[in-house]
Amino acid sequence: MRRGRVGFVSLLTVAAGLLGGCMAEGPPPRVWAASVCSALNPWRDEIATLTTRAQQQTPQATTPQQAKENLVRMLEGARDASEKARGRVEAVGVPEVDDGPEIADGVTGSLAKVRDAYGRAGEAMRALPTDDAAKFYDDVSAVMVTLQREYDASALDTGSLRSTELQQAFGEVPECL
């Protein structure tokens, strides 16, 4: 019986060590903020590139169908880039601050909302009929207004973070400036 108890205690000790490793503290505020901004900078660049390309190609499109294809490609690219950024931010982990899990979830949740907004806009754009050019461009405007509204609603204001350490870190680390 004693031998079984010693084995059980050893198992508990190993389990506690493993659980302790799982509950390890996350990156400190400055490291977390720098990592998050480093994860977001390529996303911002990709969104800017896609937007610029769509703006350049759309006026040159000779038909509403060509404009539609350009816009769908831009929106789907933005959706995919947003998901990639969300995954990168998620991989950064949870900051070592009060409410760290909620803050990390807020950032990744914001990116998921942006991803979903681009996805819905892409689906809406793909569904637009192109047989009436004037109506098509009016509908494009409506899709983009909805996208802008959803995008604005999804934004996470780092100034509203409940962590003064993170607020300070986002304002100081070079990756975020």
DSSP characters over 123-142: HHHHH---SSHHHHHHHHHH
Q: Is the pLDDT of residue 166 over 60?
A: yes
Residue recorded with tokens 């400036």: 177
Confidence of residue 25 (pLDDT cuts 50, 70, 90): confident
pLDDT mean over 64-88: 96
Given a contact cutoff of 8 angstroms between Cβ atoms, the answer to whether 86 and 112 are in contact is yes
pLDDT mean over 30-54: 95
pLDDT mean over 87-108: 95
Provide the pLDDT for residue 158. 63
Q: How far is CA 121 from CA 72, 76, 104, in A?
A: 8, 9, 26
Long-range pairs, 154-160, Cβ under 8 A, ≥24: 154/110, 154/113, 154/114, 154/117, 155/110, 156/106, 156/107, 156/109, 156/110
Q: Three-class SS of residue 99?
A: coil
pLDDT mean over 149-175: 87
Q: What is the pLDDT of residues 119-135, one digit of tens each?
A: 999 999 999 999 999 99
Task: Write the burial class of residue 33 (CB in 10 Å: 0-12 exposed, 13-18 middle, 19+ buried).
Answer: buried
Provide the pLDDT for residue 160. 65
Provide the pLDDT for residue 43. 96
Provide the pLDDT for residue 155. 83
Provide the pLDDT for residue 20. 35
Q: Is the pLDDT of residue 9 over 80?
A: no
Provide the pLDDT for residue 159. 64
Query: How far is 151 from 82, CA to CA, in rounded Å?
Result: 12
**How many percent of the chain have pLDDT more than 90?**
75
pLDDT mean over 134-162: 88
Confidence of residue 152 (pLDDT cuts 50, 70, 90): very high
Provide the pLDDT for residue 127. 98
Q: Is the pLDDT of residue 19 over 70?
A: no
For the chain, which residues make up each domain, given as ranges?
27-176
